[in-house]
Amino acid sequence: MFERMPMPRATHHLLECEAELIFNGRCGTVFEVRPEASLIAWKEFFDLETGEVHAARSSALTHEDAARADREGRLAVTRRPGSANAVGRPSRFDRSPEEIRRMEWRKSYVLASDALVSSGAMRPSRTEFERCADEILAAGETRDLHTQMQKNGYAAKRGGASVEWVRLKASPKSAAIIRRWYLAWKRGGDDALFDNLRASGRRGTRMLDEERAFMWSVIEMRLDLERPSISSIVDSVQTAFDVHNQGVVPGTGDDRILEVPGYDAIWSAINEIAPLDHAIRTRGLKIAYRDMHGVGIGIETTRALERVEIDEYTMDLMVLFRKTGILELLSDDIVRALGLDGSAKRVVLSAAIDVHTRCIVGIKLGKEASARLMRDTVEMIYTEKTPITDGIAEMDWPMYGRPGLIAMDRGAAYVADETYDLLAAAGITNFGAPAGKPWLRGFIERLFRTIHSKLLQRFSGRTFSDVVQRGENNHIDRASVTLEDLLGFLTRWIVDIYHLEPHRGLNGMSPYEAWMEATANLRPAEMSRREMRHVFGIKDKRKYQKSGFRVFHLDYMSDELHALNLREAEIAWWPGDISAIEVKVGPDRWLTVPVTDPKWIGKTHIDHTAWLMSRRERNREHEAIANRAKYALDVESYRRKQLSNLLPTIMTAHELRLEEERHRRYLDTASRRMNSAEPRDLFADEVETEIPPQGEISSTPPVSQPNADNSAPRHPEVPGDDDTDDLMD
């Protein structure tokens, strides 16, 4: 049995040569990478806070400092040397869904034209485009429809389910336009098909400086604590303009007629006021502070991850899709998507292997092949996988980093636009092997054969390769492995068996030893968390609240975000790290906003979900205890109310009269006072007794008798001065 080898804390290498970055607000370019640091050429920098100008210079930035700055959101890698984005053009990540949809619509007709040109049916001339216009339009429309159906998962929709379609124009205006798109696409690729609508429209004002100053004077006069409506302010501004124009005398120096602004112009002017200034004017300083203050490999390779091969494999094993163990943490939507209905099915394994070391750097299981499964596999290449092995395997899984080239086949999931966009955004070279030539991806194909022969043959429920080999074996009834079991078996087989066995292609070394040797001097480059959010993050629109943006029960806030005071913004959230999110605060500008609760820094969405589930289980137990206590209190309270007659009970007539008499016993009314006798003195019933002489003690106690004369009571004689007995004793 192997002992668990302690792993030293790895230093993350986020930078590479020719990478452009922003560190603490200053721009620079990496021109050399050393084992301990990166040499960076910094550009001239102007500090807005101090007014100091820092001259251009070069210095070293250690890998540890870069990793710390990345964790704290002070490091942003703006461009990688292998990135497909042209300088000065927006990246695909910054494009809106509407822009991408318009590009895809043009691309459908361009690809239809390219197919005709490639087949020799027409030449790329304007005359030929006009001659084949009808054929191009029909083929382009069919391609566009097919693209939309694939993008919306039309084949996976159940009957009656709604599908969102993005409708554009029925067809291009002319064949000349399609030819112009075709030529641009030949020169610049997909980026040349994007339009420039984002730069259209007048963003300035048509008002003269004098008109604008006059309008501002009226607005500032009306904005006060009375908080007038916009309509009232518009009326005041327009009235002031009319009065001014009526007082203009022709021939004088001040004879310019001012154009009266409309509702939209006045409303836009009010919106330009800083939110804090507007709140102070209309709510007062105290209320404004209360509401607005912040609360935040046959193939030669030279290094690890130089070439990675990815492919999918339908396992020859029936797996029980049951919701057990860790799968209970999944939401109902994910459970339905995975098809966890308890039946036995075959699963699809998507795997990635590093050619240089033969290490498995990513695996994902799904019920069918898809672009999303491939995307998740690529994402796993970048992420550290040691936490996955905790409690399952004895060894670590330290194989991760940024791949230089990914080789894959021409399957439907790998030729999708989503896949191309993902690899281009990550700066990965895409090597698409021709169909029917598996030897061009021999390493991943050999891996699947190893998994089939050394792992899957250990379990019952095998489907075999054909019906002849299967014979009378009922693979469905013999299925005994659940999806959770397969995940655990596969993880441990990879980490504790495959990575540790000597490999013939590595001259007897194990994949684990080959990785350690290849990364001893220089680890593969990694992507910063900000880049991971841009490439693999989920984009959505969220409303801004007083505590910031809320994503999955966590708040994200920073001083810079609070100063912007956004109402709604587009965010990018990555489940692999919930320390921060990206918020779009302007055209082509994203702001990194950290999580408010520091205990979630460096955590993943799985960590947060597990914590929520554990708290939910505790809450369920506490809720059951509280319900039992509430019920016992209600029962006991009802019993005590009955005992204390606080609840109405049935009485007899005699008991009712006695109860009424008891309640009237101490009733004080004027008639009772008049009918009652005259009150007597406090000592009216005191009877005078004989006082024996001093020194003599009477053998019989004194007798007290009622005094017959109530009107003139007699008091006992006052004892002498030498008598010290208390009269009241």
CATH of the domain at 420: 3.30.420.10
pLDDT above 90: residue 355: yes
57-61, 168-172, 276-280, 301-305: which range is least confident on average?
A: 168-172
DSSP 75-125: EEEEE-TT--PPTTS--GGGS-HHHHHHHHHHHHHHHHHHHHHHHTSS-SS
Q: Decide if pLDDT at 695 tops 90.
A: no
User: 452 and 387 share a domain?
Assistant: yes
**546 in the same domain as 475:** no
**Average pLDDT rounded to a whole number, residues 611-617:** 73
Q: Residue 650 — very low, low, confident or very high, per pLDDT cuts 50/70/90?
A: low
Radius of gyration of the chain (CA): 43
Least confident of 86-100, 403-417, 540-554: 86-100
Contact predicate 348/374, CB 8 Å? no
Digit-coded pLDDT (tens) for 439-475: 778 889 889 889 888 888 777 666 656 554 555 555 5
Structural domain contains residue 472: yes
Average pLDDT, integer, range 59-80: 88
CA distance to 607, 615, 616, 619, 623, per residue, from 629 (Å): 33, 21, 20, 15, 10
Domains held by the chain: number:
5
Question: Are residue 331 and residue 460 in the same domain, yes or no?
Answer: yes
Do 331 and 437 reside in the same domain of the chain? yes
Using the predicted structure, report yes or no on whether residue 723 has a pLDDT greater than 60: no
Reduced to 3 states (helix: H, G, I; strand: E, B; else coil), residue 174 is coil
Q: Are residues 325 and 270 in the same domain?
A: no
Confidence at residue 203, expressed as pLDDT on a 0 to 100 scale: 63
Asked whether residue 321 carries a pLDDT value surpassing 70, the answer given is no
Structure confidence by residue, pLDDT tens digits, 95-142: 888 888 888 888 899 999 999 999 888 998 988 898 998 898 888 888
The whole-angstrom separation of Cα 66 and Cα 56 is: 20
Q: Which pLDDT belongs to residue 406?
A: 92
SS3 653: helix
Which pLDDT score, from 0 to 100, does residue 337 have? 55
Rounded distance between C-alpha atoms, residue 470 and residue 53, angstroms: 77
Longest dimension (CA), the chain: 155
Same domain assignment for residues 228 and 367: no
Residue 263 lies in a domain: yes
Pair (114, 223) in one structural domain = no
- Work out the average pLDDT over 184-190: 86
Least confident of 167-171, 426-430, 526-530, 611-615: 167-171
What is the span of the domain harbouring residue 534? 529-603
Which H or E run includes 381?
helix 371-382
Asked whether residue 650 is domain-assigned, the answer is no
Mean pLDDT over 6-33 rounds to 82
Residues 6+ apart with CB under 8 A from 299: 307, 355
Indicate whether 523 belongs to any domain.
no
Asked whether residue 184 falls in the same domain as residue 224, the answer is no
Residue-wise pLDDT tens digits, 193-202 = 888 887 776 6
Instruction: Give pLDDT, residue 167.
Output: 58
Q: What is the rounded distance in angstroms from the CA atom of residue 535 to the CA atom of residue 418?
A: 11
The pLDDT of residue 297 is above 80: no
403 pLDDT above the threshold of 80: yes
**Residue 666 forms part of a structural domain:** no
User: 321-330: long-range contacts at Cβ-Cβ below 8 A with a sequence spacing of 24 or more?
Assistant: 321/345, 321/367, 321/482, 321/483, 322/482, 322/483, 322/484, 324/482, 324/484, 325/484, 326/484, 326/487, 327/483, 327/484, 328/613, 329/606, 329/609, 329/610, 329/613
Mean pLDDT of 493-499: 92
Question: Which pLDDT value is given to residue 597?
Answer: 87
- Whether 70 and 219 map to the same domain: the answer is no
Residue 205 has pLDDT above 80, yes or no: no
Between residues 41 and 173, the one the model is more confident about: 41
Q: Is the pLDDT of residue 716 over 50?
A: no
Phi-psi group of 437: left, alpha or beta (phi > 0 → left; psi -120 to 50 → alpha; rest → beta): beta
**CB-based contact 363:490 (threshold 8 Å):** yes
Average pLDDT over residues 304-314: 91
pLDDT bin (cut points 50, 70, 90) of residue 604 is: confident
Confidence of residue 478 (pLDDT cuts 50, 70, 90): low
Q: Is 395 contained in some domain? A: yes
Q: Which of 268-277, 352-361, 583-592, 685-694 has the highest mean pLDDT?
A: 352-361
Task: State yes or no: pLDDT of 728 exceeds 50.
Answer: no
Query: Would you say 393 and 496 are in contact if contact means Cβ atoms under 8 Å apart?
Result: yes
> Among 158-162, 287-291, 698-702, which is the least confidently predicted range?
698-702
Which of 466, 483, 500 is where one domain is finished?
A: 483
**What's the pLDDT at 101?**
86
Residues 51 and 120 in one domain: no
The identity of residue 438, as a single letter, is: P
Chain mean pLDDT for the chain: 78
User: Percentage of the chain surpassing pLDDT 90?
Assistant: 15
Given a cut of 80, is residue 526 above it in pLDDT?
A: yes
Antiparallel, parallel or unpaired: β 580-586 and 308-320 = unpaired
One domain, residues 235 and 359 = no
Q: Does residue 157 lie in a domain region?
A: no
In a domain, 561, yes or no: yes
- For position 499, what pLDDT does the model report? 94
Cβ atoms of 41 and 51 within 8 Å: the answer is: no
Q: Could you tell me which residues come within 8 angstroms of residue 19 by beta carbon, excluding any fewer than 6 positions away?
A: 29, 30, 77, 79, 80, 81
pLDDT for res 717: 46
Mean pLDDT of the region 322-336: 54
Do 285 and 220 share a structural domain? Answer: yes
pLDDT in tens, 554-584: 889 888 888 887 888 999 998 888 899 999 9
